[in-house]
Structure 1
Amino acid sequence: MKLQKNEIVGRLSYQCDMLFRVIDIIMMDGEETAILYGEDYRLIADAPLFDLVPLDTKKRQEISKHERSLEKQSFELFCQDLHLIKERQLYETTTGYQRDLNIFQIPGRVLHIDGDPSYLRKCLDVYKEIGVPVIGVYCQENEMPNKIDVLLDRYRPDILVITGHDAYSKSKGKKSDINAYRNSKFFAQTVHNARKRTPNLDQLIIFAGACQSHFESLIRAGANFASSPSRINIHALDPVYIVSKISFTPFQQSINVWDALKNTLTGDKGLGGIETKGILRTGMPYQSHIDD
């Protein structure tokens, strides 16, 4: 049976350990080769067609069962952490609950630019569930450097996410060579262009990178958080948890790097960054409506 675009497959040589979506089928070194995007991890790969097998719904559920469990656990831990942040802020604002104040909060606004429309939809659903104000834009990785100025002018975010797919190829060079990565150079240039406009690391907070990305280049370009220090795969939702933590942390507080990473699915092997201030602003009084 011939594989079709958007079909979900597994790699036989890896015992179908990950789910992949077929993006394209091309001729490479004289044989038909599929370009693959990870379904749960921000990885781009290629594989000869003979190494791929289509997966039915039952098999896909078996493979992804562990991932869904990890996602649920990470989300629940994040929500607990977010609840503590909100309660602490309410306690401090009301002087230990001694005053009954009608307050409102303005979390940081996120512009999430993603090279994968499927991942983008998944991330937007989680942002919405958490309550983060977000604009999502699908943009191919190689187009991001040229489009970032227009997008920043249009949406004026507090937090910028630059992500999609990436991968390191040993055949193209050493891990220290950014040209050995599929999209790291585009991510780094996009960060650089954004930082030219807003040099202050606390006025525009940036997360950049995907699976196996060149972490050092992204941080040098001006990202506050990036992937992947150990060149491992990162989960599709990892950027969401990091920037949501920043969005709901009061602007007077600095965020310890580990505090931002602890509820991600990948941890400090796949993600890293620098100490960064929160964005949340609290005001009063809250008006549910204003009569004319």
Structure 2
Amino acid sequence: MSIKLMDIVGRVSYNCDIIFRVTDIKVENGVKTVVLYGEDFRLVADAPYEDLVKVKQSDRQKISAESRSREEQSYILFQQDVELLRQKQEFEVTESYSHNIGYFQLPGKVLHIDGDPNYLEKCLALYEKVGVPVYGIHCNEKEMPNRISGLLDYYRPDILVVTGHDAYSKSKGKMEDINAYRHSKHFVQTVREARKKIPHLDQLVIFAGACQSHFESLIQAGANFASSPGRVNIHALDPVYIVAKISFTPFIERIHVWDVLRNTLTGEKGLGGIETKGVLRVGMPLNKPEDIE
């Protein structure tokens, strides 16, 4: 059974624990190697051609159903958080008035730069579902440091997401060596370039990283939140839940790290960060079409 580009496969040596998409097949010195991108996790991996097996449609459907169930659970918990924030905000805005005065909210705008167009599409769909204003840009991880300055000037976001694929390779060095990671150094360079433009941690909130990324370097470079403290795989949608929480939290409130992580699909082993202010702002009055003559 031949393996082709875009086939959905699993690694036999890992008991097919993660489903991958075949993105490249290389032959060097007679050895055939396949480049794999995770379907649900932001992981890139190389594997021997002989170690791969196509995943049956029935197995894919079962795994996809389990993944959707986890995603839906996180979405429900996130919606509960947003509703509590909304109720609290409504009380604080209107409690001093004897009659109801309409108000409007301006959630934080997100610029999401992603190395994977398929993941970007999934994330944009979730942003739209939860109501976060977002601009999405597909960009190869290696090109991100050179493009970030111009993108920040053009879109002027409140929150920046820099993500895609990554992986730690033990054969390339120790875990503390950033050169042993597929794309961590590109994420770090991108964060540094962003901080040259906007140094203050609360004027631009940054999430950076992917599966197994060098967490400590990303935080030191200026990211507010990053992956992966435990060098584990993170879910494709985890960045959305983090920045959406920030987007809907008022700018006068500080967000405790655990409040951001608890509804993600990966949790504290895959994601971490520092105490950060929210970016939502409230205004009034809310003019309705019938109120304007």
Q: What residue number does 1:115 align with?
A: 115
Task: Give the gaps of 5 or more residues in structure 2.
Answer: none
1:70 aligns with 2:61: no
Question: Which SS does the other structure have where 1:35 is aligned?
Answer: strand
Equivalent residue, structure 2, for 1:148: 148
TM superposition shift of 1:288? 3.1
Matched-pair identity in %: 64
Q: Which residue of 2 aligns with 1:187?
A: 187
Q: Counterpart amino acid of 2:193?
A: N
Hey, what's the Cα distance between the residues in 2 that align with 1:147 and 1:155?
A: 12
Cα deviation 1:27-49 (Å, max 9, x = unaligned): 24631111000000000001111
| Cα distance between partner residues in 2 of 1:63 and 1:199 | 42
Alpha-carbon distance, 1:284 to partner:
0.8
Cross-structure match for 2:270: 270
Once residues 43 and 266 of structure 2 are traced to their aligned partners in structure 1, the CA distance between those partners, rounded to angstroms, is 13
Amino acid at match of 1:68: R
User: Which position in structure 2 is the counterpart of 1:43?
Assistant: 43
- Counterpart contact for 1:172–1:179, Cα < 8 Å: yes
Show the 5 A alignment for 1:93-172: 93-95=93-95, 99-172=99-172
The residue that corresponds to 2:246 in the other structure is: 246
- Bigger Cα displacement from structure 2, 35-44 vs 7-16: 7-16
Deviates more, 1:96-105 or 1:273-282: 96-105
SS at match of 1:267: coil
The answer (yes or no) to whether the contact 1:18–1:63 under 8 Å persists in 2 is: no
Structure-2 residue corresponding to 1:279: 279
Q: CA deviation at 1:64?
A: 3.0
For residues 19 and 9 of structure 2, the distance between their equivalents in structure 1, rounded to whole angstroms, comes to 6
Q: What TM-score, normalized by structure 2, do the two folds share?
A: 0.97
Q: Deviations over 1:40-59 (max 9, x none)?
A: 00000011111111123211
Displacement of 1:68 in angstroms is: 1.8
Q: CA-to-partner distance for each residue in 1:203-228, whole Å, 9 max, x for gaps?
A: 00000000000000000000000000
Aligned to 2:86: 86
**Residues 29 and 287 (structure 1 numbering): CA distance in 2 closer, same or farther, change over 3 Å?**
farther
Give a deviation string over 1:131-180, Cα, whole Å, max 9, x none: 00000000000000000011111100000000000000000000000000
Structure 1 residue 265, shift from structure 2 partner: 0.5
Q: Are the aligned partners of 1:43 and 1:210 in contact in 2 as well (CA < 8 Å)?
A: yes
- Where does residue 30 of structure 1 map in the other structure? 30
Per-residue CA distance 1:77-127 (angstroms, 9 max, x = gap): 011111101111001111178541110000000000000000000000000
Q: Distance in 2 between matches of 1:175 and 1:97?
A: 57
1:63 Cα deviation after fit: 2.5
Q: CA 1:29 to 1:174, structure 2 compared with 1: closer, same or farther past 3 Å?
A: farther
Q: CA RMSD in A?
A: 1.3
8 Å CA contact 1:91–1:97 kept in 2: the answer is: no
- Tell me how far 1:3 sits from its aligned partner: 1.5
CA distance in 1, matches of 2:292, 2:272: 48
In 2, the alpha carbon distance for the partners of 1:27 and 1:200 equals: 47
TM-score normalised by L of structure 1: 0.97
SS of the residue 1:268 aligns to: coil
What is the CA distance between 1:291 and its match in structure 2?
A: 4.7
Residue 257 of structure 1 corresponds to which residue in structure 2?
257
* In structure 1, distance between residues paired with 2:273 and 2:94: 33
Q: Post-superposition, which runs of at least 4 consecutive aligned residues in structure 1 deviate over 6 A?
A: none
